[in-house]
Structure 1
Amino acid sequence: MNTALRILLKSALRDRISLFWSVVFPVGLLIGLGVVFDSPEYRGRLLAGTAAMGVFFWALFGIAFENLSHRNRGVYKLLRATPFPTVAFVLSLTIARALVALLSGAVVVATGAIAFGVDVGWGESLLMLPVLLAGTFCFTGLGFLVANLAGNEAQVSMICNLFSLPMLFVSEAFYSLDGSPRWLQELSRFLPFSHFVDAFRHSLEGDASGIVLPILILLAFAVLFLVLAVVTFRWDAEGGKMLAGRMKP
């Protein structure tokens, strides 16, 4: 498993497109909006929103495209002919992506701390760790599900946008929803990205109790996405759906 993890980690670090959308784009957005809106309060919100967005993009889009690539190239079919468990491979892929997600979030937060003087100490950094992990596992599960539902890269992109855009626009990542209609505020609470942003903001504020409920909600969504991903899993591009009971242990 260690060998597979090292290989998948190197592959993740070579994923330039995902790295752009999870690191370069959030950093550019953070600096651009931070300069335009010169408010310490807004910069704190902006830092939490852009860092959460970067991890969200990395976990969702990165996993979806990589999972589709592995399936279309026959990686999963080859795994069936080897003693290496598919579950171990999926776990290695998730861990590799989670490690890079932590790096992505750290880069964005460090940029905000340096460029705008946002106070991020050791306490806040430690609180961010479980938040980043919970968000990564949640959206990684969603990425696996998207790849199972899609048949090609165009469909992956379409389905990812179908999930990601409403989550971004109906969250408080970049603005407050206090003045929005009640139904929109309620809808926001049913989407996992809103809870990820909330947890991230509480961690930056050093509020340990505030991150507990959002993390639990993210983990609940992670379990839901994982179950759906297992049920819809396909060994190859032409294969049909496979029930969880037929998965190789």
Structure 2
Amino acid sequence: MKALAFAGRNRKEILRDPLTLLLGVVMPVAMLWLFSSLEGIMPLDLFTIEKLTPGMIVFSFSFITLFSGMLLGRDKTTSFLMRIFASPMKASEYLIGYAIPLLPVALFQILVCYGAGVLLGFPVDIHVLTGFGVLLIISLLYIGSGLALGTYFTDRQVGGIFAIFVNITTWLSGIWFSPSMIGGAFEQMAKLLPFVHAVDAARAAFTGGFTQLLEPLLWVIGYTIVIFGLAIVGFRKKMKGSK
């Protein structure tokens, strides 16, 4: 209940900054249209709408990382967190309170990007339910990443780090080209990070490839648990330091 009450406050803060939310939808949709139009010019398998749509939805979650990180970082900068640390909430409850209102944001991004994909020819079938469910799980990876950044850095630092984060998630995710095309250390690094696995899981979910879904999804879940764990550890230190 305490986490839900705190989530209500954070939901209001999210609605006060619609620009970032709008950017997290408009840019992926624009890029989806742009790259799908290249299929006729460069007939690559990755430029088909069936591959681009799930990948672009995962890319849109990067903006949730920015938003969640800046929200938490801003609360630290304004000393808001220091004032409410007097409450009996645990570190995990605080982070849950930040994460809950971001899930509807993720769902909104999924719906808009999926709708744009359908208009561009993405097939509609029963697998959409599995796809939406897997994407919501993947969104927790990006929400947790933002909360971890906001825990350890200020809102201004999060903005700078995000530029690095979004480049890493873009180039090492396999959205526009497969890491195997470059191979070597680049491919190995991509496989060690969760982003290419997130895209693979999303694509497998929408095609009904359940045998190809389990392994990449486990990578995503494992990283999500670790990242949230790091955020909780850092948050506990902040709470102890304020006393």
Structure 1 length-normalised TM: 0.84
Partner of 1:98: 103
Where 1:175 maps in the other structure, the secondary structure is coil
Partner of 2:57: 51
Call closer, same or farther: CA 1:148–1:82 in 2, change over 3 Å: closer
Residue 6 of structure 1 and its aligned partner are, at CA, apart by 3.4
Where 2:173 maps in the other structure, the secondary structure is coil
> Given the alignment of the two structures, is residue 188 of structure 1 paired with residue 190 of structure 2, yes or no?
yes
Q: Tell me if structure 1 keeps the 8 A contact 2:151–2:235.
A: yes
Partner of 2:118: 113
Q: Tell me if structure 2 keeps the 8 A contact 1:55–1:105.
A: no
Identity among equivalent positions (%) equals 22
Q: What does residue range 236-247 of structure 1 map to in structure 2 within 5 Å?
A: 241-242=237-238, 246=240
Alpha-carbon distance in structure 1 between the residues aligned to 2:163 and 2:228: 19
Residue 48 of structure 1 and its aligned partner are, at CA, apart by 1.7
Q: Deviations over 1:172-212 (max 9, x none)?
A: 11122332122211111111111111111111212233222
Q: Tell me if structure 2 keeps the 8 A contact 1:150–1:159.
A: no
Alpha-carbon distance in structure 2 between the residues aligned to 1:157 and 1:34: 29
Where 1:233 maps in the other structure, the secondary structure is helix
Residue 247 of structure 1 and its aligned partner are, at CA, apart by 9.6
Alpha-carbon distance in structure 2 between the residues aligned to 1:70 and 1:176: 39
> Given the alignment of the two structures, is residue 63 of structure 1 paired with residue 59 of structure 2, yes or no?
no
Q: How many residues align?
A: 236
Partner of 2:87: 82
Q: Tell me if structure 2 keeps the 8 A contact 1:127–1:208.
A: no
Alpha-carbon distance in structure 2 between the residues aligned to 1:86 and 1:137: 17
Alpha-carbon distance in structure 2 between the residues aligned to 1:203 and 1:43: 15
Alpha-carbon distance in structure 1 between the residues aligned to 2:179 and 2:44: 19
Where 2:208 maps in the other structure, the secondary structure is coil
Residue 226 of structure 1 and its aligned partner are, at CA, apart by 1.6
- In structure 1, list runs of 5 or more residues that go unmatched: 235-240
Moved segments of 4+, more than 6 Å:
none
Q: Deviations over 1:54-87 (max 9, x none)?
A: 02322x1111000011112222222222345553
- In structure 2, list runs of 5 or more residues that go unmatched: none
Which amino acid counterpart does residue 14 of structure 2 have in structure 1?
A
Residue 130 of structure 1 and its aligned partner are, at CA, apart by 3.1
Alpha-carbon distance in structure 2 between the residues aligned to 1:152 and 1:117: 39
